[in-house]
Structure 1
Amino acid sequence: MKAITVDDSKTIRAIVKRTLKGLGFEVEEAEDGLVALEKIKQAWPIDLAVVDWNMPNMNGIELVREIRRRPEWSGMRVMMATTESEISQMQLALEAGADEYLMKPFDREALEQKLVLLGLVV
């Protein structure tokens, strides 16, 4: 399985990458949504995108909407990982097309639980 972690924080990308690699994923990294789109095109097929909300150039909501606009990427699972904790923000992310929502800060177990819910790990 392949994944991409999209976050402007190198530290968060490293944490997500290490966790996903430990679960058997090949992992790409991108620091914003525009870079992520190019990496997804290059590395397709991608099974999972873990996306931060607040990033420069193209934020997470814009990236999720762009992913969902492309029928060829319809099988990709998208998890929004963010500090945005308001119910209205969670609803906005899900309406944009995110499959799951993960609150920062999170630990390995929280990420793994979300992956189980998405059917990507057992």
Structure 2
Amino acid sequence: SGGGLLRKYKPLTLERPAVQFLPLTWTVVHPIDEASPLWGQTAEHLTRQQAEFLILIKAFDDTFFQTVHVRHSYRHEEVVWGARFVPAFEPDAQGQMVLDLTLLSEIAPAVEARPSVS
């Protein structure tokens, strides 16, 4: 062991692993539950581990009839805790869905799911 950084790659299960048709926008979601490697992690732990999330997406562009690959990386200091993405689309006055590109990266405080009491 040379004391170097050891990288471990863990695939994350997605809420929706594939989309056949993309009519609006799609937020890639990994549920953090007991089965997730992120369950119980803290910002401090991710910092100590120098965690980084690699996002790899493969899609097919119908216009140019070719496969498109996109890769992005989020480092531990870019993770926003207790937040969610704001929906970037809503119906206009005529009921047509409108995509507001200025909202694509906007976030808001997340609302925790509370167990229902019966």
**TM bucket, shorter chain:** under 0.3
Does 1 or 2 have the higher relative contact order (CA < 8 Å, sep 6+)? 1
TM (norm. structure 1) is 0.26
**Higher strand proportion:** 2
Structure with more of its chain in helix, by fraction: 1
Structure having the higher Rg: 2
TM-score, structure 2 length as denominator? 0.26
